[in-house]
Amino acid sequence: MSLYQTIKEALADLTFSSDTPGKLPSERQLQQQFNSTRVTVREALMRLEAEGVIYRQNRIGWFLCPKRLLWDPIQKVNFYQLAKNQGLKAKTELLTCKQTRASNEICQAFTLDKQSDFYEIYRIRYLDDRPVMVEEIYCPVQQFPGLTEKALDSSITTIFQDDYQVKVSHEQSDIIVTALPDNKAEQLNLNGGAACLKIIRKRFNEQQELVDYNIEYWLHSAIEMRVQSN
């Protein structure tokens, strides 16, 4: 068996008895401990990261992954409720909210022309204070005047419903595995290139009109999906 495999298994077995709980020893410490080089140690670490056992914070170190959030893409349960049901603390941070002209792709999805204005909302979501998701939300200004004034660090669905009487009745999600883009990784204080789940979600009102175009990047080790079909 290769050396990095050995290191990987040894690390997986470790109780990671470091100063900070959940934090792994530094790469140079591991290199000495296993009498190897940083390249090889990092190979082992990156495998464990790919498996979803550990994750890294940019220039800080490697950490053990907590358990994944279980999510059913069919159920329209909001993030806070979902987290609470699973004993996790949810938090949302609003990064930016501005009025823009959106990309062609998004205009087309809304069947609006390129002159239309959209709100563009960037948010980060945390579970137990760990950043796990970054999202972009687009919705037409016309339909949601004054949206910037609302409490955008809460549930958008609730705002739609309570403040605008818009009820989401149908949604479609496209889900792929890809690498976290560098600009998104930066917002999460993580490294680009790590596996992530990219979810493009379109939500429609009762008249089947698109009201909300949402792009989410989930840290792959933070989420698990469960779906039922009858």
Helix, coil or strand: residue 167: coil
- CB of residue 56 vs DNA: minimum separation in angstroms? 5
Residue 167 is a binding residue for its own copies (CB under 8 A): no
Residues 28 and 36: their CA atoms lie apart, in Å, by: 10
Q: Could you give the string, one character per residue 30-69, with x where binding to DNA holds by CB under 7 A and - elsewhere?
A: -----xxxxxx-xx------------x-xxxxx-------
CA distance 125 to 203: 19
Rule CB under 7 A: say whether 18 interacts with DNA: no
Q: How far apart are CA 54 and CA 135, in angstroms?
A: 22
Q: Is residue 220 a contact partner of residue 177, using CB atoms and an 8 Å limit?
A: yes
* Least spacing, CB of residue 58 vs DNA, in Å: 5
- DSSP H helices, 34-89, are 38-51, 79-85
Contact status: 74 vs its own copies (CB under 8 A): yes
Among 115, 176, 183, 207, binds its own copies (CB under 8 A): 176
The CA distance from 32 to 227, in Å, is 45
Q: How far is the CB of 23 from DNA (least distance, A)?
A: 8
- CB of 101 closer than 8 Å to CB of 84: no
Q: Which of DNA, its own copies, none binds 11 (CB below 5-8 Å, type-dependent)?
A: none
Integer-rounded Cα radius of gyration of the chain: 20
- List the interface residues with DNA, window 157-216 (CB under 7 A): 191
Residue ranges binding its own copies (CB under 8 A) = 5, 39, 46-47, 50-52, 68, 73-76, 169-179, 182, 192-195, 197, 220-221, 223-230
Residue ranges binding DNA (CB under 7 A) = 2-5, 24, 26-29, 35-40, 42-43, 56, 58-62, 191
